[in-house]
């Protein structure tokens, strides 16, 4: 399933994400040389409707057409079949970003075999850092997601945005798979199709390529807005839902995604439902904590405790394939670094 190349395919730099299936047979790992041999690893298009990473890479590589890259670069182009249709994934496919080493559901799939091979190859090449580029379907600021609170990782994250989310990690995600081996993060570039997002991602990737080494000094607490993801919110399987007033068992606010990255007090209303448990909420350990976070006793779906949501979306397909949102809390920057801070993350 995996194709491995040592040079860019012809026409790659001018091919939109929707048309990459014409020049790539499937997931493709491309190795490009650079002045520093330890490679930066960048994955894009793990979700087929999130193409800012592709555009950013194309822009950056065009700028280097007549000169060598400052560092070796390995690129994974992910789900070109879903990109052809403009979808996160096709109905028969697993989510590519749940098939990496550590997956709990997709261990015997061709996608898992491909991602395990990518992971093995990059570790053998002594990967310098791992960047996974994504978009959101809702209104969110630029932010990065880290699985470890080590200062090398946080310095890398701050090259993208001062907004950083610490998350234990989803089993089988790319960042979780690499986090123990190199500085690794996911970057969220806002909605796809926005030139400003693509330019921001391109500048970030260029900065990463020019890093000779990572700073060892501590990140200053005034330079970072750090959040901790504490729970994932989903619509229960089999429960109908809608945004606005369409007939459904759960009616969510029509502009729910405007709440992203806004601190919400207990009592904030998300929508309406007559169900006892209209939303399913699980903490980082997978425990059901629905009643601790939401109630619907009066027909209104209300927060039970203060929280800050991220990735709220109005895309019904994305809600079904992934989740409604994550809930976060602000986190003070730990004063320790290295293994001590990293150990906190055994629990994005």
Number of domains in the chain: 2
340 in a domain, yes or no? no
**Do residues 187 and 324 share a domain?**
no
Q: Which residues pair with 310 in a beta bridge?
A: 326
**Do residues 135 and 152 share a domain?**
yes
Per the structure, the complete domain to which residue 256 belongs is given by 230-330
Task: Report the CATH number that the domain containing residue 82 is assigned in CATH.
Answer: 3.40.630.10
**Do residues 249 and 177 share a domain?**
no
Residue in this structure with the two tokens 């369409």, named with its chain if needed? 246
List the one residue out of 140, 145, 155 whose CA is nearest residue 186: 145
Rounded-to-integer distance, Cα 104 and Cα 125, Å = 26
**Do residues 197 and 111 share a domain?**
yes
Three-state DSSP state, 174: helix
339 in a domain, yes or no? no
**Do residues 29 and 171 share a domain?**
yes
pTM of the model: 0.92
**Do residues 9 and 155 share a domain?**
yes
Boundary of a domain, candidates 164, 197, 224: 224
Residue-level pLDDT, tens digit, the chain, 348 residues: 999 999 999 999 999 999 999 999 999 999 999 999 999 999 999 999 999 999 999 999 999 988 999 999 999 999 999 999 999 999 999 999 999 999 999 999 999 999 999 999 999 999 999 999 999 988 999 999 999 999 999 999 999 999 999 998 788 999 999 999 999 999 999 999 999 999 999 999 999 999 999 998 999 999 999 999 999 999 999 999 999 999 999 999 999 999 999 999 999 999 999 999 999 999 998 999 999 999 998 999 999 999 999 999 999 999 999 999 999 999 998 765 443 343 333 223
CA angle 106, 324, 255 (to 5 degrees): 155
Rounded-to-integer distance, Cα 299 and Cα 271, Å = 9
Residue 201 near residue 299 (C-beta atoms within 8 A):
no
341 in a domain, yes or no? no
Rounded-to-integer distance, Cα 261 and Cα 140, Å = 7
């Amino acid at each position: 399933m995996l194709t491995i190349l040592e040079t860019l395919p012809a026409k790659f730099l001018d091919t939109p994400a929707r048309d990459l299936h014409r020049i790539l047979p499937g997931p493709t790992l491309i190795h490009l040389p650079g002045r520093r041999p330890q490679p930066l690893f960048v994955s894009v298009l793990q979700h087929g409707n999130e193409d800012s990473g592709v555009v950013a890479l194309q822009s950056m590589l065009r700028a280097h057409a007549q000169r060598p890259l400052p560092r070796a670069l390995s690129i994974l182009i992910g789900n070109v079949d879903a990109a052809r249709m403009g979808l996160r994934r096709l109905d028969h496919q697993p989510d590519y970003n749940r098939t990496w080493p550590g997956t709990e559901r997709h261990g015997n799939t061709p996608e898992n075999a491909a991602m395990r091979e990518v992971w093995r190859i990059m570790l053998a090449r002594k990967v310098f850092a791992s960047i996974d580029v994504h978009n959101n379907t809702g209104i969110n600021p630029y932010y990065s997601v880290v699985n470890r609170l080590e200062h090398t990782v946080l310095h890398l994250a701050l090259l993208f945005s001062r907004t950083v989310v610490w998350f234990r990690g989803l089993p089988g995600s790319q960042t979780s798979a690499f986090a123990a081996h190199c500085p690794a993060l996911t970057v969220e570039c806002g909605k796809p199709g926005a030139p400003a997002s693509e330019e921001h991602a391109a500048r970030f990737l260029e900065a990463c390529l020019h890093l000779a080494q990572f700073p060892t000094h501590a990140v200053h607490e005034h330079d970072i807005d750090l959040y901790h993801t504490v729970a994932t919110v989903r619509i229960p399987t089999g429960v109908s839902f809608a945004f606005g007033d369409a007939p459904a068992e759960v009616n969510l606010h029509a502009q729910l995604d405007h709440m992203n990255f806004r601190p919400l007090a207990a009592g904030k209303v998300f929508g309406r439902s007559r169900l006892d448990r209209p939303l399913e909420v699980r903490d980082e350990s997978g425990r059901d904590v629905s009643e601790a976070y939401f109630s619907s006793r009066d027909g209104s779906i209300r927060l039970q405790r203060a929280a800050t949501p991220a990735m709220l979306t109005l895309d019904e397909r994305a809600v079904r394939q992934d989740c409604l949102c994550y809930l976060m809390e602000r986190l003070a920057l730990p004063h320790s670094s290295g293994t001590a801070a990293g150990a906190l993350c055994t629990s994005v």
